[in-house]
Structure 1
């Protein structure tokens, strides 16, 4: 799998600055506006899928000389403010890469993003290729404002098979199994779970999954809608109490709150045998395969879904993470540019060569009927698992700090960090988040 900077990590750096990240390779970032005469202008990430985007543009432009797409790539941090400024001035790109969720919703409210619903409905062969659970992340008030353009990034539970073998255990299927496993591992002097707590956002994965498993997707839907008292829902309180239970049981490795998630330290604890498990996004596979190729190639790395919670309302197939990155079309684009952009998204993205390029890079695209291609790809066991997990998910919840507004997402990470540190109680966490939402 190709080494790349996880898009999840890139996102956290600028959540407060609208959080639509698009990067580039040292471009000056000239803005030609939506009506550029040399083709539809596209802004996209320099890391991640850049090679796929470049190859796609070359192929498309050769076959469509009268409706070209011209990519520009920008560094992550400068881009955030640049996009806001350019779109606000009516001089933004025709297409721009984003994560959907709350940040995209801000542009939708400002009427800066084109509604693609009718384009998709009029081309069912296009719409029906995409996993519905992924398309949902760019669907706002029932209308679609973006289409996925790269691979899915679900959060899974990774484990060191050798360490679990030392205590004669299998990966936990239920929450009670996890607590029992924590006790067994600690008795053997093995740290149960690694986590990059210093970065805060890995904490969120535990809350997202537990709230889903206890209360189902509607619990967060109420939070995202800004409903009064939604954070004090019994399912949220129960999830916060379960987090406290896990922390108090010594579930996480010593000093986890000082470990960075941005440097691969947390994953290294798993492949060096210092911790048995880690809950992390699909990008962690690449981190571990790069950090210790032999550990992965020898079959010592295992993976599993998040444990079920007895009596919970959430379906066991539900997953959380980043459904994909999306391309959205500027509402300020001229009719010709918009038509060309939509045509490119329909026929130039996720075609055979595009999919092959993503798979070569280790990405798993959310496109139906790829079983044969997946099985023939590198790291087939892992890619097949991710593909099936995403395809079969009844719900794929976008990371909360991206689904919410950037400001509320930052507040959430701050208070959740305090919960993990034992500085506030589960009840205080819920109350503080209700207060923040009401502001």
Structure 2
């Protein structure tokens, strides 16, 4: 999953690694669906919160002791761009203020594992990298790039993260990653004026969503904007449908390669997706236009053009609010959001995140990741908007609006009862590489949604190759 709005372009976002929560989490999400997510998310902006985007004071209460590192330099690599990168640099600036170190942000290309490989081959790895997939962490460990987390980092992990979050960053019993960022990726944003003109209401089920789409189309507006140029958006569509329709047990079996992509449950999910993707008139620009639209543009074109935008609604995570803000749309009036509708008995919840991993072991690198594992760092970025933390000790008051506070609380209240996104559990060649694997297969399916069997065969072939199981 990934994550990056202008910001989230990989995975997984989101800015976006992603998480799928069920069972207890489903109950938490039901409460969110009935409350917080029924409201519009307030877009982030300066002057409304501590450390807002007006560049104000981003310092926060000190909960962790850091060493003085005067004269030390560090490099931190991530795929983040736009506001997400800008806000993270404010977090790094606070680390500099406390320690005297100088930190440089290194923009990474996607997939970041390939980017890091070239840096390491050239003898210039960054000190720390933010990795968007558990599979990428394991790759970094297997290639002997990643360094174990020191005792100060582990102390912060134990204080601030549930055991499951700690386990996700652990490889063969050794902790390597600190999940600094998370995202809720089971949301659909909509243009409120378009819905009002069409007489449409927020759908709760997939059947309701199809009815809503028809009402919007009949009103003269294309129903959906799809950022198909970024393949992760399509895997998110699939995962939301599959989890809700097939259920968590089946989901786990597919993620763990205990069933194949040729399983009937995959056929059913693709067939369900085709109910929307096969309606060319329902997609802004048709399939070809969708495949040329990156995620940020898929959001902005939904909220520009008054009551005649290019589309009435768009799939996206909580991080989409950054792109919405760029359009000048007024949250609460123009931009609203509803949970991804239930296809089966329970509405799905997909989330995501990025983990800080040390590539050059040093006192300074350990100190930086200790800071990122503390509530101090996350509290700064929470106040800047477009961000959620899995750190359970970040105060609710850190978030800039009530809806985002409730979304963050739902994430924390899920405790250990969650599952990671399927594509992020897979080898990156299958689940996280542009032009390959699942991303490419679903892009091809968006263009030709009648080819369900062929898509399943390609998914299974590519998954087998990436896993090296020869099946």
Report the TM-score, using the length of structure 2 for normalisation.
0.70
Q: Give the distance between the partners of 1:349 and 1:133, measured in 2 at CA.
A: 15
Query: Of residues 235, 248, 253 in structure 2, which corresponds to 1:204?
Result: 235
Query: Of residues 206, 210, 231 in structure 2, which corresponds to 1:175?
Result: 206
Task: Say yes or no: does 1:234 pair with 2:264.
Answer: yes
Task: Say yes or no: does 1:283 pair with 2:319.
Answer: yes
Say if 1:114 and 1:145, in contact at 8 Å, map to a contact too. yes
Task: Say yes or no: does 1:73 pair with 2:74.
Answer: no
Query: Residue in 1 aligned with 2:337?
Result: 303
Alignment of structure 1 residues 18-417 onto 2, 5 Å = 39=72, 41-45=74-78, 47=81, 48-51=83-86, 54-57=89-92, 59-60=94-95, 63-64=98-99, 68=101, 70-77=102-109, 81=114, 83-87=116-120, 92-116=125-149, 123=155, 126-130=157-161, 138-140=169-171, 144-150=175-181, 152=183, 154-227=185-258, 229-249=259-279, 251-259=282-290, 260-262=292-294, 264-271=296-303, 272=305, 273=307, 274=309, 275-291=311-327, 293=328, 295-297=329-331, 299-311=333-345, 316=347, 318-321=348-351, 323-330=352-359, 333=361, 337=362, 340-347=364-371, 349-352=373-376, 355-374=379-398, 377=400, 380-393=401-414, 394-395=417-418, 397-398=420-421, 400=423, 402-409=424-431, 410-417=436-443
Say if 2:10 and 2:230, in contact at 8 Å, map to a contact too. no
Alpha-carbon offset, residue 213 of structure 1 = 1.0
Report the TM-score, using the length of structure 1 for normalisation.
0.75
Q: Give the distance between the partners of 1:202 and 1:148, measured in 2 at CA.
A: 21
Distance 1:207 1:59, change over 3 A: closer
Q: Which runs of 5+ in 2 are unaligned?
A: 14-68, 466-471
Q: Give the distance between the partners of 2:129 and 2:330, measured in 1 at CA.
A: 35
Alpha-carbon offset, residue 149 of structure 1 = 2.8
Distance 1:194 1:85, change over 3 A: closer
Distance 1:308 1:58, change over 3 A: closer
Distance 1:344 1:219, change over 3 A: same
Alpha-carbon offset, residue 146 of structure 1 = 0.8
Q: Which runs of 5+ in 1 are unaligned?
A: 13-35
How many equivalent residue pairs?
Answer: 392
Distance 1:360 1:42, change over 3 A: same
Q: By percentage of residues, which structure has more helix?
A: 1
Alpha-carbon offset, residue 258 of structure 1 = 1.3
Distance 1:85 1:414, change over 3 A: closer
Distance 1:248 1:89, change over 3 A: closer
Alpha-carbon offset, residue 263 of structure 1 = 7.0
Say if 1:100 and 1:137, in contact at 8 Å, map to a contact too. no
Q: Give the distance between the partners of 2:378 and 2:225, measured in 1 at CA.
A: 35
